Every structure is written in C-alpha cells, then in structure tokens.
Chains A and B, each alone.
Chain A
Amino acid sequence: MTRQSPKVGVYGFTGCAGDQLMILNCEDQLVDLFGATEIRSFVMAKSDNHEGELDVAFIEGSISTEEQLKKLKEIRERAKVVIAIGTCASHGGPQAMKLGEGGWEERYRKVYGNAKITISKAFEAQPIDAFVKVDMYIPGCPIDKGEFLAAVSKLVAGRHPYLYKFPVCTECKWKENPCILYAGKFCGGPLTKAGCGAVCPSYGLPCVGCWGPTDDLNVSSEYKLLKEKGYNPDEILRKLRKFGGAKVAQLLKDVENKGAKA
C-alpha cells in the first residue's frame, strides 16, 4: 500500500452505543480494520486516545446537550470527512420522534422532575446535521457490519462508498418475501432505506423503519393506504415518526394540512 492509513476517530453522543459496538463486533475484520486505518480516538474500544486532526470522524448518536454540541462542532473542525453512523446521528432516532411538535420542556419535566441538572444544559435531541455539515450517512439501528465495512474499505482505498438508496422493499423482494403491506399489515418498508437485508419481513415481521427514511419517499400515499387498511391516524403518525426524523415529520405535516383543507 502506498496510500497513507487514514486517521480515524469514532465518537458517540445520545444513543445506545450500539453502532460503536457493531464496529467492535466485526470480529473477523477487526485486525484488518485497525491495520488499514489509524484509529486515533475510540473511547469505547481503547484508553489511549489522541484528539487531533482526523481524516474521517464516525459519529454515533443524536445531539441533546450544550456540551455535546460543543464537542460535535470541535470534531467537525478537525475532521476532513464527517460520517453519521446509525439512525440517531442520521435522523435523530426515537428520542427525536416528536421533533418540531413542541412540548419538549413538559416531557423533560415528566422524566427529571424539578431536579437541578448542572452537568450541561439539555435540549430536544436532534440529528447531527442540524448543527454541522455531514458528508455521508450510514444509517441503521444498529448499522449493518457489511455496509459499514464496505464503506470503510472504499474510504481507505480513496474511493467513494456506495450505499443502497432504494427502500427495504427491493431487498425484501430479493429475499422472495410476499408483500406484507399488500396483505394488510402495517409495514414501513416503502419509506425506509434498504441496507438491513429486509431482515424483519424475512421473518414475517413488518418493517418498523429503523434504517430511517429513504431518499425518495411517498409518505402521503403510504399514509392513505394505511388509513384505508383500517389503521387509525394517531397510530400511523406515531409509528411512522418513530425513526422518521424531521423529514418524515414534515411530510406527515404536509399530509395533515392537505387533509384539513380537503
């Protein structure tokens, strides 16, 4: 190899740390991964960490405190490429499912009461691209090993990673599953980015949308269809917003506004 190993940092904010764990779970490739890259900082994996200039920063989790925000901006400044890993960093995750609806202070009080929290001022969780420029997204809950390693391998080789842009339904058909949305189940496949290998529908379970929204989605048609199939609007909104982030929230708002006018 003539190319220099890229300097990499792996960071976690508000999330379950499942994406970082998935990186460590790449057992067969871990030696290659640590060999092909220079891992400067990865607190979950090692204690000897150095915070300096980075070629690539992988960031997991959403941002929900002033302290996190400060650190995120600081990482962005010293990283050439910022990659959001996991659905929380990419779209906000379940903790951001009410984003834009208001009432966050009340929800915060319900959980923490009137306790004075002095560590850092908290705010409603948001995806990292609400604050900094993100160069690439590797969504998933947690991320898929194969997708992650394929992307890293490309980055190490100085090439552009390629991730599927189509929805789960395509992979679901490759797995030869009958369409469970067609059969009347509440399946979020058409709105959800592929990459998981349609694992849930392959076991007869509907897609809950954990990979987050796909690039080109028709929320209004899915909403109408689910209503026709007998699901109540509250349930539809709740389920579609669980991993949908601001993008799905906005599209659902458009649907509701249209419905109110009609």
Chain B
Amino acid sequence: MILKMKKEDLSTFLDSVKEWGELRGPTKKEGRVTYSRVDSLSQMDLKAARTIIPPKKFLYPPRFTMFDYDQDGYTERLGDVPKRVLFGIHPCDIHGILIMDKLFLETYKDPYYAERREKTLLLGHSCIPDDKCMCIATNTDFVAEGFDLFFSDLKMFYLVWVGSTKGHDLIRLKPELFSRELDKNDILNYTEYRKWKNSQFKTKIDLTGMPDIFELGYGSPVWDQLGDKCLSCGQCTMVCPTCNCYNVVDEVELGALEGTRDRFWDSCMFREYSLVAGGHNFRDKRSDRLRLWYTHKLQAFIGEFGKPACVGCGRCVETCPVEINVVTVSTALKEQEVGK
C-alpha cells in the first residue's frame, strides 16, 4: 500500500510515533554523522549520504552482554532492550538488514538479534547519492521489503510505502495525515524521481560477472599487492552493513563466581580471527584475509543467496585509509593492476 503525505506533516507524524518507542534518526555533530537518539525531526539531518556505522548497531551492538551467570546458572539479558523507531534509513541499509535477517533469523535463530529486531521499527527514507554511493551497481538503490514504512521525498510531498502491519499501526496513530488518493501525476512524479536518482551516481562500477572474475583471479598477484597495502585495522568490517562476525568472551567479577558473557564485533581482517588451537593460522597472510573478505562479499554470497553481500553504501570507500574498497578491489581484479 502506498499513501501520500504532505511534507510539513512529517514532524507531527514523528512526534506521534514516539508513542511506540524511542525515536532514532541521522544526526550530524562536528562533521560526524550517526544514528542517534532524537526528540524530533528538527534534530535530524536527512541530507547526509551515510552514517559512519550502519543501523546494524541497534540490532547487534558493537559490544553487549548476552547473559549474566553465577554458580547456579545463567539469566539472559534481553529485557533491557528498548523499543525503538529508526527513521531515515536509506535503501542500502535496509538491504543490509535484510541480509542480517537471513543470517541471524533463519537457519540458526539468534535470540539477541531477534529480540532487538522485533523491538525495532524501520522507517526508510529516500536519499541522494553522493560520489561514493554505488548501490546502483549492487541493485540496492531501491527497496521493496524489509521496512515498516518508507518515505520517498518527492519535493512537494512524500509517497509513503506501508511495508508491515506494525507500519500500518503507526499510520493509524495519525490517519488524518495520510491520503490514499493517488493520481496520474503522482505516478509521473515518482517515475521522474527514479530517473533523476539514477542519473546522480558518480561512481560507475560494473559488478556483473564478479563471481567469474574472482574465480579466475583467485591466484592473481593483485591480492599480494593489496595485502602489502592493507593495514589490518579492521575498519572496513566495522562499517560494512553486512559484516556480522563476532567474538565471545566471559568476564568474571573480582573474587566471585559470577560474571557476564559478552559478545563483540570481530573481523576476518585480524590474524587472531583465523588462529586455531596449536598456533596454526589458516589465513596468516594479510592478502589471504583480504581475499576471503572480498570473495565472500562478491562471489561466495552470490552463490549461496543469489545476490552480493555488498549493498553499495560506500562506507568502505569513505573509511579505508589506504583505499582498499569494493571499487578499487573489483577494478584491480578486472584490470589485473592495483591503482596508484
């Protein structure tokens, strides 16, 4: 279902959704764009292309306690997860969450992720691509599922997609703000908007055929050249909307038998990640670790799920100090030469 809302009514609507849960949205402070707690629309920056960390942080925090234990057993820490409404999530990040859903909710359901996902509403918002966006190459520039509501900014008004019954419940908090009457002009406007958005991309990469290129380039010296550059800092994995690996560690209270079991983001870029008992490391070389990451994103995931595990958000492009990212790696593999 698609509804129509006046631009000026967004603020009133967002005030009303706080009835469901805490409001979160993109904010910009001292050049730092993050999803943060906000009270109203006026505190948000809807023009920012991307946040430093994707919204995965709400569903799967960088470090959190899974459960408290003592001599008698353990108690899950799930009750303290707040109900949240995330507003302003871009299509790429919703695609990222859809991939997280596949990994954490299907074959082996992760209770910590499931609890947070259940208590989080996703209110998407259309965006304007900047010079690092490449979602058009990963087919994630638009989104048809995964959100509760999605707002497309068509200058004079919003077209609002209703993606779930929970999303519909939000509409029912202020039904007078939404209209079901869509006419020919709305369709023309929307078509025009899609064309315009498609024309805005400045990063032109072609990811078709990547599984073949990766297969052909598995032994390519390009990987060693990239490995020489990689700082193993792990930033790419932290900012990637589809990176989901974690480590688990037990903490114990001083002088007691009780403690917590904590979970924190890990990275296959780290040597420790592939270190196993006996001191053997099956990806000791930096180039092997880089190759694993990119093969996973652009080859293996396609084989398993039919789409890449890259949603084209451009965060790796905006973060890696030595310019190792989806654009430079895919280009280097195709051209058999590392740029610069």
Residues of A in contact with B (beta carbons under 8 Å apart)? 1, 29, 32-33, 35-36, 149-150, 152-154, 156-157, 159, 162, 165-167, 169-170, 172-174, 176-179, 181-182, 189-191, 204, 215-218, 220-222, 225
- Is the pair B228, A182 in contact by a Cβ cutoff of 8 Å? no
A216 in contact with B252 given A174-B238, A176-B52 (CB within 8 Å): no
Find chain B residues with CB under 8 A from A181 CB: 321
CA A38 to CA B62, docked complex, whole Å: 36
What distance in Å separates the Cβ of A191 from its nearest Cβ neighbour in chain B? 8
- A163 to B, closest residue via Cβ: B249
- Is the pair A190, B251 in contact by a Cβ cutoff of 8 Å? no
Q: Is the interface of A mostly helix, strand, loop or mixed?
A: helix
Task: Pick the residue among B34, B252, B255, B286 that contacts A218 (CB under 8 A).
Answer: B286
Q: Is B257 engaged at the interface, CB distance under 8 Å to the other chain? A: yes
Task: Pick the residue among A32, A152, A167 that contacts B232 (CB under 8 A).
Answer: A167
- Is the pair B31, A165 in contact by a Cβ cutoff of 8 Å? no
A-B contact pairs, 23 of them (CB 8 A): A1-B257, A153-B253, A159-B250, A167-B231, A169-B231, A169-B233, A172-B235, A173-B52, A173-B53, A173-B234, A173-B238, A174-B53, A178-B319, A179-B235, A179-B319, A179-B321, A182-B320, A216-B271, A218-B230, A218-B286, A220-B228, A221-B228, A225-B322
What distance in Å separates the Cβ of B182 from its nearest Cβ neighbour in chain A? 39
Task: Pick the residue among A150, A156, A178, A182 that contacts B251 (CB under 8 A).
Answer: A150
- B272 to A, closest residue via Cβ: A165
- B63 to A, closest residue via Cβ: A174
Find chain A residues with CB under 8 A from B229 CB: 218, 221
What distance in Å separates the Cβ of A176 from its nearest Cβ neighbour in chain B? 5
Q: Is B267 engaged at the interface, CB distance under 8 Å to the other chain? A: yes
CA A167 to CA B234, docked complex, whole Å: 8
A interface footprint on B23-39 (CB within 8 Å = 1, 0 otherwise): 00000001110100000
Q: Is B59 engaged at the interface, CB distance under 8 Å to the other chain? A: no
A32 in contact with B254 given A170-B267, A174-B238 (CB within 8 Å): yes
Q: Is B69 engaged at the interface, CB distance under 8 Å to the other chain? A: no
- Is the pair B270, A159 in contact by a Cβ cutoff of 8 Å? no
What distance in Å separates the Cβ of B289 from its nearest Cβ neighbour in chain A? 10
Find chain B residues with CB under 8 A from A217 CB: 232
Task: Pick the residue among B249, B255, B271 that contacts A32 (CB under 8 A).
Answer: B255
CA A220 to CA B254, docked complex, whole Å: 41
A166 in contact with B267 given A32-B254, A150-B251 (CB within 8 Å): yes
- Is the pair B62, A178 in contact by a Cβ cutoff of 8 Å? no
